[in-house]
Amino acid sequence: MIVINSSPVINLTAALGGLELLGDLYGKVIVPAEVMQEIEDGADKDKAADLLRKTHCADMRTQTVLSAPWMFRGLDPGEASVIQTALQEGVKTVVLDDWKGRRVARVAGLEVIGSLGVLVQAKETGRLPSVRDAITRMKSHGAWLDGAVVEQALKLAGES
């Protein structure tokens, strides 16, 4: 089980054409209400909201999350709600791409994976033939990816 933020949803739908793979890898995918709102706010830019609604493993929450005030320092409401939801529900892994959110999640004792880490896991389990091709699709949809992080992901996937 994982709790996911908006940028990984958007990036992974671009890379994979949907999110069913997340169910195969993690089981249930919790989407806090704040995250769904962020995705719906950008619905005119991509198909992430529609694809997320069609994902069988997605548990889309409708109640907003009351996050601890310290979490809002430097985090957007989606990131804070992902971390708070995971802590409240005992979910050990969150999917976050932003470095500030990742840092706060680790300080809170959570395991963190990003969009590229999900792709590497998918490749390792035989569910994705090429991380490189998936990254290319992400970039073609406007995703900004740090070059060093991309190289590390390709190395871990055996594609460097």
pLDDT in tens, 21-44: 999 999 999 999 999 999 998 867
Percentage of the chain surpassing pLDDT 70? 97
What lies within 8 Å, CB to CB, of 155 at 6+ separation is: none
Averaged over 55-67, what is the pLDDT?
Answer: 91
Q: Is the pTM of this model over 0.85?
A: yes
Distances (CA, A) of 97 to 21, 28, 62, 115, 129: 18, 19, 23, 7, 22
Residue 72 has pLDDT above 70, yes or no: no
* CA–CA gap between residue 135 and residue 60 (Å, rounded): 26
Residue 99's domain comprises: 2-156
Residue 120's domain is classified under what CATH number? 3.40.50.1010
CA 51, 45, 60, 27 torsion-angle sign:
positive
Q: What is the pLDDT of residue 47?
A: 85
* CA–CA gap between residue 116 and residue 156 (Å, rounded): 10
Strands 29-31 and 2-4: parallel
* CA–CA gap between residue 120 and residue 100 (Å, rounded): 22
Give the total number of structural domains in the chain: 1
Pick 45 or 91 by higher pLDDT: 91
Nearest one of 59, 67, 64 to 83, comparing CA atoms:
67
